[in-house]
Amino acid sequence: MEKLDLQQLHVMGILNITPDSFSDGGQYTGLDAALYRAEIMLKEGATIIDIGGESTRPNAKAVGVAEELQRVIPVVEALKANFDCYISVDTSKPEVMQAAIDAKADMLNDVRALQMTGALAVCAKSNIPICLMHMQGQPDTMQIQPTYSNIVTEVKAFFSERILCCEQAGITHDRLILDPGFGFGKTLDHNTQLLAQLEQLTEFNLPLLVGISRKTMIGQLLQHSGQDAPVNQRLYGSLSAAVITVLKGANIIRVHDVKASVDALKIVSAIQA
Ligand code: PT1
Give the pLDDT of residue 7.
Answer: 95
- Which of 91, 109, 159 to mutate to test ligand 1, by most ligand atoms within 8 A of the CB atom? 109
Instruction: Give the integer Cα–Cα distance in Å for 160 and 196.
Output: 20
Instruction: Give the integer Cα–Cα distance in Å for 28 and 221.
Output: 37
Asked if the structure places residue 3 within a domain, the reply is no
Nearby residues of 80 by Cβ (< 8 Å), 6 or more positions away: 87, 103, 104
This prediction has a pTM of: 0.96
Nearest CA to ligand 1 atom 1: 211
Specify the DSSP element, H or E, that contains 109.
strand 107-110
Asked if the structure places residue 48 within a domain, the reply is yes
Asked if the structure places residue 121 within a domain, the reply is yes
Query: pLDDT tens-digit profile of 177-223?
Result: 999 999 999 999 999 999 999 999 999 999 999 999 999 999 999 99
Nearest CA to ligand 1 atom 9: 56
Q: Is 214 a catalytic residue?
A: no
Question: What domain count does the chain have?
Answer: 1
Asked if the structure places residue 70 within a domain, the reply is yes
Asked if the structure places residue 45 within a domain, the reply is yes
Asked if the structure places residue 1 within a domain, the reply is no
Asked if the structure places residue 2 within a domain, the reply is no
Of the residues 234, 254, 259, 266, only one is catalytic, namely: 254
Query: pLDDT tens-digit profile of 38-60?
Result: 999 999 999 999 999 999 999 99
Asked if the structure places residue 5 within a domain, the reply is no
Cα–ligand 1 centroid distance for 183 (angstroms): 6
Exposed e or buried b for every residue in 81-114, given b needs 16+ CB within 10 A? eeeebbbbbbbbbbbbbbbbbebebbbbbbbbbb
Partners of 133 in the beta sheet?
A: 179
Cα–ligand 1 centroid distance for 212 (angstroms): 7
CATH number for 82: 3.20.20.20
Domain that holds residue 75: 10-272
Query: pLDDT tens-digit profile of 108-131?
Result: 999 999 999 999 999 999 999 999
> For ligand 1, which residues put their CB under 6 angstroms from it?
56-58, 90, 109, 111, 131, 133, 179, 181-184, 209, 211, 215-216, 254
Q: Is 175 a catalytic residue?
A: no
Nearest CA to ligand 1 atom 17: 57
